[in-house]
Amino acid sequence: MLIPVRCFTCGTLIADRYHLYLNRVKMGEKPSKVLDDMGVKRYCCRRMFVSSVETIHQLLPYYEALVRKREEIEGM
């Protein structure tokens, strides 16, 4: 995922904390508690963490389907 380096609104550096945030949330902690522990207080910065999406996992099925379709066409 390409997390922005800085918050879009206030300009606070956020990219250095993103992997820690992801690891702790994947381990089962509540996102709000993780952000509080990391010292992320502003709602604009919190939005950057909570609203980020791993787009690669959404795009992979389409790419795999395209590869299968290409193999089908070339195999005919």
DSSP assignment of 22-63: HHHHHTT--HHHHHHHHT---HHHHHHHHT---HHHHHHHHH
Task: Give the model's pLDDT for residue 34.
Answer: 95
CATH 1.10.10.60 is right for the domain spanning 15-75? yes
Alpha-carbon gap, residue 4 to 52, rounded angstroms = 9
Task: Give the model's pLDDT for residue 8.
Answer: 92
Cβ-Cβ contacts under 8 Å for 46 (sequence gap 6 or more):
35, 40
Determine what percent of the chain is predicted with pLDDT higher than 70: 97
What is the pTM (predicted TM-score) of this model? 0.68
Extract the residue ranges of the chain whose pLDDT is less than 50: none
Task: Name the residue ranges covered by the structural domains of the chain.
Answer: 15-75
Mean pLDDT of the chain: 90
